[in-house]
Structure 1
């Protein structure tokens, strides 16, 4: 799977609630940097965050741009969904993905443009 295909698969699997398939896109030692929290180190920590700590119940990511550079992928887009407390949430985001030699995501950096998250 190409890096661009992997990124599209990542958002599709998140939106579909396919957390097992989502986790398979990350290398064992992947690092996920999220605003306002410590980095999530390792595939297991990333999967646990999505299963246990994520404050979003459901939603849809819409990618507006996908940019490739030296094997890395940058995206920007929007998200519309429902939080675990029932409130609706809409925000813009940008992310940068790096890939390991195995073709799996080795690093994900998220930048969220959120009001009242």
Structure 2
């Protein structure tokens, strides 16, 4: 599976809220760094993030652009409420080994009606 194809599958699973399916796309030692929080190390930590996020918010990823360059896929996205962001996915041997995402955390919380927590993923 190419990086672009893998991210297309990631988007499909994201839009289904499939936490286990999303987690299975990451290498066991993958790093996910959403810039609104510290990097997460390992599939279990990444799964935990998805559990928290899908537990507190209704999220949909609409692809605006998806590019591929070597091991990298670059996703520019929006959601139905107008929030925009982008993600960079490094893929090796058919698994995500690194992801970095950029979005406006405060706008996300306001849009979802979530009180701004002291820590992004809570305690």
Question: TM-score band, normalised by the shorter chain?
Answer: 0.7 to 0.9
Pairwise CA distance, 1:109: 0.4
1:97 equivalenced with 2:96 (yes/no): no
Pairwise CA distance, 1:97: 0.5
Number of aligned residue pairs: 107
In structure 1, the gaps of 5 or more residues are 81-88
Structure with the higher fraction of residues in helix conformation: 2
Q: Mapping of 1:65-104 within 5 angstroms?
A: 65-80=65-80, 90-100=82-92, 102-104=93-95
8 Å Cα contact 1:31/1:41 also seen in 2: yes
Q: Which residue of 2 aligns with 1:112?
A: 103
Q: Mapping of 1:1-117 within 5 angstroms?
A: 1-51=1-51, 53-54=52-53, 56-80=56-80, 90-100=82-92, 102-113=93-104, 115-116=106-107, 117=109
Structure with the higher fraction of residues in strand conformation: 1
After TM superposition, where is structure 1 displaced by more than 4 Å over at least 4 residues in a row?
none
CA RMSD of aligned residues (A): 1.7
